[in-house]
Amino acid sequence: MISASYLDKVNARLAAVEARLSAPDTAADHNRFRSLMSEHNHLKKLQGVAQRYFTLLKDMEDSRALLENDGTETELREMAEEELALCEQHLPAAEKALMIALLPPRPEDSRNTIFEIRAGTGGDEAALFAADLFRMYARFAEEKGWRTNVIDANASNIGGYKEIIFSVEGQDVYRTLRYESGVHRVQRIPVTEAGGRIHTSAATVAVLPEAEEIDVVIKPEEVRVDIFRSSGPGGQSVNTTDSAVRLTHLATGLVVQCQDEKSQHRNKEKAMRVLRARLLDRLQDAEDEKRGDARRSQVGSGDRSERVRTYNFPQNRVTDHRINMTLYNLDRFMEGDIDDLLNALYEHDVQERLQKEVDVDVL
């Protein structure tokens, strides 16, 4: 475990970051200011949990010294015993909190997020389930005070979505929702089923951290821009103006389109956000492979067998297969009450990271 002198290094680094934040030229550089603020928040949290841990260690040392002293009065000895027991009780949680704080921060955790939900196996029922998932995430975001914004949607004939792309903006959005990527399977009686039989369908979810312009530089000559007429339900501009935009990244073949806004400029801006996020995701995958890490598999093929979660409506049950956690509150879960499962997934991720060696010399 780290020594008490590490707290001095944390304090010194924090003071240096605060000095740079107060420098006149820092506020003028948005990217630099944001980077320093992120480091400052991480160091402040680290400072707090480290102080708590080392205070407990010091109090335990003082209590033991009193107990080992034959001249300690009875009343003082009893107080020392109580203090020692209390410190020993709180020390494991304080040590775990410190170890978590020592984990290198993921820069993308504080970013806004691009969601892509697509109907997989199951036809119309899969499209209806994709719409249910969108509604679930939108309600969860609303409860968190986050903002959702539809970028593009391809509606099905009976009211679902063959595909819907939307952004979620707020504090620590990606850190909270990153675990939603994968295939989500649903078991229920479809509205189109006359015989009352339970069907199994699936939808795929991709969660991408939103990229900044400095993360992915896209030159104008690298993208083909196609303008076309909006289609589907919408305002009075739909089917009357050429405002929809399709972007094709020539080097990778990635295609993104947006027709949600009446403004051609706004549609292009939204589509570019999605394109940057997808390109950043590809770059991160390439880096993972270069380092020998396991490739991040976010979406899969949409087949039922590649599931991360099952939603069983007849039993009011939702099961996450990655952590073998089952909840019997699917009715509330679909209304956006997904905190318990997301917290469990985060804890599982932290435990896996803690199993690796924590480098304390991060300052």
pLDDT in tens, 121-133: 888 899 999 999 9
Q: State the chain's mean pLDDT as an integer.
A: 85
Q: Where in the chain is the domain with CATH 3.30.70.1660?
A: 109-214+296-354
Q: What is the pLDDT of residue 81?
A: 92
Q: Where in the chain is the domain with CATH 3.30.160.20?
A: 220-290
Average pLDDT of span 163-170: 94
Q: Which CATH class is domain 5-102?
A: mainly alpha
The SS3 call for residue 70 is: coil
252: closest CA among 228, 227, 273, 281?
A: 281
Helix, strand, coil abundance in the chain, percent, nearest 5: 45, 20, 35
Q: What is the pLDDT of residue 358?
A: 55
Would the pLDDT of 236 be above 50?
no
Per-residue pLDDT reduced to its tens digit, 138-149? 999 999 999 999
Q: Which fold has domain 220-290?
A: Double Stranded RNA Binding Domain (3.30.160)
CB 192 within 8 A of CB 125: yes
109-214+296-354: in CATH 3.30.70.1660: yes
Q: 253's torsion region: left (phi>0), alpha (psi -120 to 50) or beta?
A: left
Structure pTM? 0.78
- Here the tokens at position 156 are 């099905």
- Here the tokens at position 71 are 């001249």
Q: Where in the chain is the domain with CATH 1.20.58?
A: 5-102
The SS3 call for residue 332 is: helix
- When pLDDT is cut at 50, 70 and 90, the band that residue 33 belongs to is confident
Average pLDDT of span 298-313: 66
Q: What is the pLDDT of residue 352?
A: 85
Question: CA distances (Å), 65 to each of 5, 72, 153, in order?
Answer: 21, 10, 68
Q: What is the pLDDT of residue 94?
A: 93
Distance from C-alpha of 64 to C-alpha of 355, rounded to nearest angstrom? 31
